[in-house]
Chain A
Amino acid sequence: MEQKDNTKNEKQINEVDCDEVIRKLNMILDGEVAKEEENQLLHHIDDCNNCLEQYHIEKSFKELLKSKLQNLNVSVSLIQTIKDRIKGKS
């Protein structure tokens, strides 16, 4: 993960490569990349068809999980039991 290449300067920093983007796709979608870096990565994604496709695949999968996996409802009686047991404590 760590790059020995210290010759990267500010001009080159925009040249994010595909490997890096792909490696960080999930982090981007999970909101775990700092704003500035995120912008660079998204900039690359906008211009690169391959990365853009992968980005959409990952994004829609994440959205699929969120939309298909709805929360269940707990029974009313459990809520009441918990409330009663807590009330009883002093």
Chain B
Amino acid sequence: MKQKKTPDIKENTTEETQTYSHEEKNENPDAFLEEELKPITLTKEEIDIIFEKEMLPHINALYTFAFRLTNNEDDANDLVQETYLKAYRFFGSYEQGTNAKAWLYRILKNSFINNYRKQSKEPNKIDYEEAETIFHSEKNNYNPIDSRDKVFKGLLGDEVSNALMALPLDFKTVIMLCDIEGFTYEEIAKIVDTPIGTVRSRLHRGRKMLKEMLAKYAASLGYDTSEETQNSEQEQD
């Protein structure tokens, strides 16, 4: 399904902020699984055991990742199921002893891209403009906002989660992989299929955007961002 005619807006941020660079090339997102397929000498029982021990324990993390990518429970469920079925089907391309979790994330991320390209349905458009604006306004501004610890203290998990989900795809993806899941840059580069340098810069920019969004949000909620207030810490909940 081709888009009408996308004007040539190749310059500046389009590639980086809106889509996985991957998306433009018309690649088969499962190609890496097929390519890396090796003959299996294990029996089905053995595979099932490894699968249960090494793959299934990551299901909550994968579901969370899927949910934050799609912002929809059903889509997240489908994505997780698809990921596990592919992992099982292409079990021969999993190199035993390597990071099973990273491998599963890579499958999930590729499936996600594939699904959304097919349906040309774009999740999380919300606040995209805001994120863009923030990005453009922060250029070389060194630490432009008050992002000290206490500014964010009052924020609830859902509020942080919503802000994260509102970030452009490329940015929230690396933040989730690095800050929540603790993957190395190298693992992230493989999962999102970009050079390590790109991972690093997306992390840098993504965190800045997120910080700005959260600081603004905290301020709008009346969480005190000014210097005073040492006493009354909001300690409910």
Q: Which residues of A contact B88 (CB under 8 A)?
A: 86, 89
Q: Mark B56-81, 1 if CB is under 8 A from A, else 0.
A: 10011111100100000000010011
> Are B44 and A85 within 8 A (Cβ)?
no
Q: Mark B153-194, 1 if CB is under 8 A from A, else 0.
A: 001110011001000000000011011100011000000000
> Are B84 and A82 within 8 A (Cβ)?
yes
Name the residue on B nearest A58 (C-beta): B207
Interface residues of B toward A: which range? 35 or more
A70 an interface residue at 8 Å Cβ cutoff? yes
Closest Cβ of chain A to B174, distance in Å, is 11
Q: Which residues of A contact B156 (CB under 8 A)?
A: 68
A74 with B161, Cβ < 8 A, contacts A66-B179, A68-B155 known: no
> Are A62 and B143 within 8 A (Cβ)?
no
B48 an interface residue at 8 Å Cβ cutoff? yes
Contact of B149 among A64, A68, A69, A74 (CB under 8 A): A64
Q: Mark B83-106, 1 if CB is under 8 A from A, else 0.
A: 011001100000000000000000
> Are A69 and B204 within 8 A (Cβ)?
no
- By secondary structure, the B interface counts as helix
Alpha-carbon distance between A65 and B155 when the two chains are bound, in angstroms: 11
Q: Which of A7-15, A26-34, A38-46 contacts B (4 or more CB under 8 A)?
A: A26-34
- By secondary structure, the A interface counts as helix
B211 an interface residue at 8 Å Cβ cutoff? yes
Contact of A69 among B51, B60, B164 (CB under 8 A): B164
Question: B142, B175, B178: which has the most chain A beta carbons within 10 Å?
Answer: B178
Name the residue on A nearest B89 (C-beta): A89
Closest Cβ of chain B to A54, distance in Å, is 7
A sample of 12 cross-chain residue pairs with beta-carbon separation below 8 angstroms, ordered by A number, consists of: A26-B200, A26-B203, A57-B148, A64-B160, A65-B160, A69-B180, A71-B60, A71-B61, A78-B80, A78-B81, A81-B81, A83-B56
Using a CB–CB distance below 8 Å, which chain B residues touch chain A?
A: 44, 48, 51, 56, 59-64, 67, 77, 80-81, 84-85, 88-89, 142-143, 147-149, 152, 155-157, 160-161, 164, 175-176, 178-180, 184-185, 200, 203-204, 207, 210-211
Given A32-B185, A89-B89, 4 additional A-B pairs, CB 8 A: A61-B211, A73-B63, A78-B81, A79-B59
